[in-house]
Amino acid sequence: MPHKTMTDQRIENILGNLLRAGVGVSAGIVFCGAVIYLARHGRSPAAYRVFQGEPSDLHSLHGIVRDAMRLNGRGIIQLGLLFLIATPVARVIFSIWGFAAEHDRMYVVFTVIVLAILLFSLVGSQM
Amino acid sequence: MSILEFTVLVFLGSMIAGLLGALTGLGGGVVLVPLLTLFFKVDIRYAIGASLVSVIATSSGAAAAYVKEGLSNIRIGMFLEIATTLGALLGAFLAVWVSTSVIATVFGVVLVISAYLSRKPRSQAERELPPDPLATRLRLNGSFPDLEGVRSYNVQRVPAGFSIMFGAGALSGLLGIGSGALKVLAMDQAMKIPFKVSTTTSNFMIGVTAAASAGVYLHRGYIDPGLSMPVMLGVLLGSLVGTRILVKAETKWLRIIFSVVIVLLGIEMLYKGLTGNL
């Protein structure tokens, strides 16, 4: 197979597929969680008028994974949302690789800066 | 109202939010926050959390299509993202000291003026400006598939665009929403980037900006799975339909839809700013 050079168009295609996969996986997980959640709680009254904050197990990565493993509907939905939040981060990480493959040093630097700020604000919030 | 009925209604509303969000590059929050708070009487904090989820869903759902079509410009997006994410950090930091009602009022006025400016199509002379040296060095110029075939464009006034992007980031850090509107305006009005490239690149960017603040909102308990679930699924479906429309739509109509939506957003901001209801 001849060695293909990295072009913007090729990177964009891979990036498009990555986004589609990320969104597809997270939507699938959220949908499964939704079926369980609605089957169990669909008839209870909806209560969002008053803010109570989520139970602490739905705040942290650990708690969410634990709830999801127990097939708790809300836990599974929250896990799917985590996948969704991770998609843009994965997009930035992939772009670094893409620009590097194009030997575009300037944009590798730009993208690393964006990733650093992104991780700083994610970690800074004590997730 | 039972949870099932509530879920179905929020799902339908979110589809409209996602459709408009993908068409305008604003994300779904513009429609979603007033819909949830005014119509469904949801607490503003849950609504903001759901809106953040909707922005990421619109962005990722629509960006998949736009990136493949070659509409959004990843270099412009990534370069300007530096300004936005830095601005967002500053905004979150300033939020403790600054009066958000004053900012919301000013932002509301800016939006109403911008809606007036951005509804007009660009003149032929403005479309054929010579390349700007800084934009060339940063490799921002590009081309995109227009209705009549591939059209190339030269990006103008990079420093002005970069500064507005910084402001857009700071605003989203301060107010939680509204960065998409300024992003589109910076690219369209300041940098003279074609409208479709501006809205789709904004769409690409808002997801990254939103992901940066997602950690904070999750930690504060703003993201409720029961509410976010219909929002995410509805917004995704709506944004997929939106992308199909945008690719085939005439820019003239997209500008009109955009102006109408940001006038509404401007009024919303003025209302919030003047009543102090933020």
Give the chain A residue whose CA is nearest to the CA of B47: A48
Contacts of A102 in chain B (CB under 8 A): none
Residue partners of B186: CB distance under 8 A and separation at least 6: B80, B160, B161, B164, B165, B168
CB atoms within 10 A of CB A28: 12
Q: Per-residue confidence at A127, pLDDT binned at 50, 70, 90?
A: very low
The pLDDT value recorded for residue A125 is 58
In this complex, do B2 and A45 lie within 8 Å of one another by their Cβ atoms? Answer: yes
Task: Collapse the DSSP code of B145 into the 3-class scheme (helix H, G, I; strand E, B; otherwise coil) and give the result.
Answer: strand
Chain B nearest-CA distance from A5, in A, is 18
Angle at A67 (CA atoms; ends A82, B212), nearest 5 degrees: 20
Closest CA to A102 of B81, B74, B62: B74
Full domain range(s) for residue B144: 3-275
Determine, for residues B41 and A49 on separate chains, whether the beta-carbon distance falls below 8 Å: yes
Question: Residues 41 to 80 of B: which have CB under 8 A from any A CB?
Answer: 41-46, 53, 56-57, 59-61, 63-65, 67-68, 70, 74-75, 78-79
Give residue B117's pLDDT: 78
Predicted pLDDT of residue B278: 56
B5 to A46: CB separation less than 8 angstroms, yes or no: yes
Contact at CB, B211 and A122, closer than 8 angstroms: yes
pLDDT at B146 over 50: yes
> How many domains is chain A built from?
1
Triad A48, A70, B220: Cα angle to 5°: 40
Contact A92 B208 (CB under 8 A): yes
- pLDDT-derived band at A28, boundaries 50, 70, 90: very high
The candidate with the shortest Cα–Cα distance to B21, out of B223, B238, B205, is: B238
Mean pLDDT of B64-92: 86
- The range of the structural domain enclosing residue A95 comes to 18-124
Q: Which residues in A lie closer than 8 A to residue B65 (C-beta atoms)?
A: 16
Residue type, B133: P
Task: Indicate if the pLDDT at residue B254 is higher than 80.
Answer: yes
- Three-state SS for B128-144 is CCCCCHHHHHCCCCEEE
When mean pLDDT is compared across B62-66, B176-180, B190-194, B235-239, the lowest value belongs to: B176-180
Q: Is residue A58 part of a domain?
A: yes
Nearest-by-CA chain A residue for B87: A117
Q: Is residue A10 part of a domain?
A: no
User: What torsion do the CA atoms of B172, B36, B233, B220 make, to the nearest 10 degrees?
Assistant: 50
- The angle subtended at Cα B100 by Cα B94 and Cα B104, nearest 5°, is 125
Q: Is residue A34 part of a domain?
A: yes
- Count structural domains, chain B: 1
**B7: nearest CB among A31, A38, A85:** A38
Residue A2's pLDDT band (boundaries 50, 70, 90)? Answer: very low
Q: Give the three-class secondary structure for B221.
A: coil
Q: Look at A38 and B4 and tell me if their CB atoms are within 8 Å.
A: yes
Over the stretch B217-228, which tens digit does the pLDDT of each residue have? Answer: 787 788 899 999
Pick from B43, B53, B222: CB nearest A50? B43
A66 or B154, which is more confident: B154
pLDDT tens-place string over residues B189-234? 899 999 999 999 998 888 888 887 777 778 778 889 999 999 999 9
Instruction: Return the pLDDT at A3.
Output: 43
> Cβ of B43 and A34 within 8 Å?
no
Residue B176 confidence (pLDDT)? 63
Give this complex's ipTM.
0.85
Confirm or reject contact between A113 and chain B (CB < 8 A): yes
pLDDT for residue A57 is more than 80: no
| pLDDT tens digits along B55-71 | 888 888 888 778 778 88
Give the pLDDT of residue B78: 93
Query: Can you tell me whether residue B152 is helix, strand or coil?
Result: strand
- For the record, the structure tokens of A112 come out as 């690393």
Alpha-carbon gap, residue B27 to B177, rounded angstroms = 10
pLDDT at B76: 93
pLDDT averaged over chain A? 83
Average confidence (pLDDT) over B103-113: 81
pLDDT at B47 over 80: yes
Q: Does A37 touch chain B (CB under 8 A)?
A: yes
Residue B238 neighbours by CB under 8 Å, 6+ apart: B14, B15, B16, B17, B18, B19, B20, B21, B22, B28, B58
A70 class by beta-carbon count within 10 Å (0-12 exposed, 13-18 middle, 19+ buried) = exposed
pLDDT at B177: 63
Which two structure tokens, joined as six digits, stand for B219?
């930690």
* Domain presence at residue A7: no
- Mutant choice from A26, A29, A76, A87 vs B, greatest count of B C-beta within 10 A: A87
CB atoms within 10 A of CB B109: 13
Query: Which residues 44-103 on chain A approach chain B with CB closer than 8 angstroms?
Result: 44-46, 48-54, 56, 58-59, 73-75, 77-78, 80-81, 84-89, 91-92, 95
Q: Cβ–Cβ of A104/B139 closer than 8 Å?
A: yes
